[in-house]
Amino acid sequence: MTTNQKIFLKEKGVNFEEQSKKILKIVYPHPVSLEGTNNLDELIETAREYNTWGKNVIIKVPMLADGSGLKAVNILESEGIKTNVTAMMSANQAFLAVTAGASYASLFFNRIRDSGDDPVEVIKQSRAIIDEGGYKTKLIVGSIRNPNDVVEIASAKPHIITIPYKILDQMPYHETTVKTLKEFEQAWEEFKAAEKTIVTV
């Protein structure tokens, strides 16, 4: 599970710490990525605080243009605090995240596409970097806008896909599946109506 500032903006009238702890408890023992500030010093300070909120806390660290996020990753991971480098758009950025020692690295699928690059190829390249280099980092892919995105992402074999609930809710549905099952149900009802009755003496 992952959070970000835009997601929390929708949670109007809640306390960040209280809501985060509630989520951590519900999801435990599975990891929850919490996002804070983009300022290096504040990021490290808040990361240390967030890490006390639960054993499944993962600290989101932005891929800052000046490289300072990578420094934060190195510091936090050396303290045993797991990190998730976020807002990544390229395999170059993924390479930097994994070599900095990040536990997780997050590519933004549709934002990569919006920038004009092929997100599937970026995922494949990033996964190859991790596998061939023997890095510990798990590759996460998010920024999903429709169910077809999930198929494209899965084919590129990241370790983890973060799927919004509204998309996950759509995935079991297919119009032809619904039609087919209705036909089967109707055939079963017709069969039962004409079924031979067995009389036990």
Q: How far apart are CA 40 and CA 54, in angstroms?
A: 22
Active site residue 12: no
Q: How far apart are CA 157 and CA 106, in angstroms?
A: 13
Helix 68-78 to helix 40-50 angle (10° resolution) is 30
The one catalytic residue among 10, 60, 71, 138: 60
| Catalytically active residues, by annotation | 60
